[in-house]
Amino acid sequence: MAERKKLTFRPDPTFPRKVVVELPSGDTDEIEFTFRHRTGKEAKALDEGLSGRDWADVLLDLAVGWEFAEPYDREHLDEFCNNYPKAAPAIYRQYVQALLVEKAKN
């Protein structure tokens, strides 16, 4: 079992997180990204500057790596976004939720 991450005054510059992606078949799968941490102000500014940007460029800004064997670079992100057009917006939404949205309490 992985050790539980503790709250620190200054967060780590990156954090791992699995995101859910819908496949063309309607099934879903998870992929782990290593995301860049942003402050609340930085995340909101990123969100405000999203319009008109290419998804591969957005994903390059969000993360530093993924669990695929292929390199995490512009070429492979572009291919991934073309192969799975629903993936990039879903990854982006889950990234913003990880930074800005509180978990619902049961």
pLDDT in the model for residue 40 = 86
Residue-wise pLDDT tens digits, 5-41? 788 888 899 999 999 999 999 999 999 999 999 998 9
Question: Region 32-51: what's the mean pLDDT?
Answer: 91
pTM score of the predicted model? 0.86
DSSP string covering the chain: -PPPPPP-SS--SEEEEEEEEE-TTS-EEEEEEEEEP--HHHHHHHHHT-TT--HHHHHHHHEEEESSSS--SHHHHHHHHHH-TTHHHHHHHHHHHHHH-PPPP-
Residue-wise pLDDT tens digits, 55-87? 999 999 999 999 999 999 999 999 999 999 999
User: Is residue 102 pLDDT above 80, yes or no?
Assistant: no
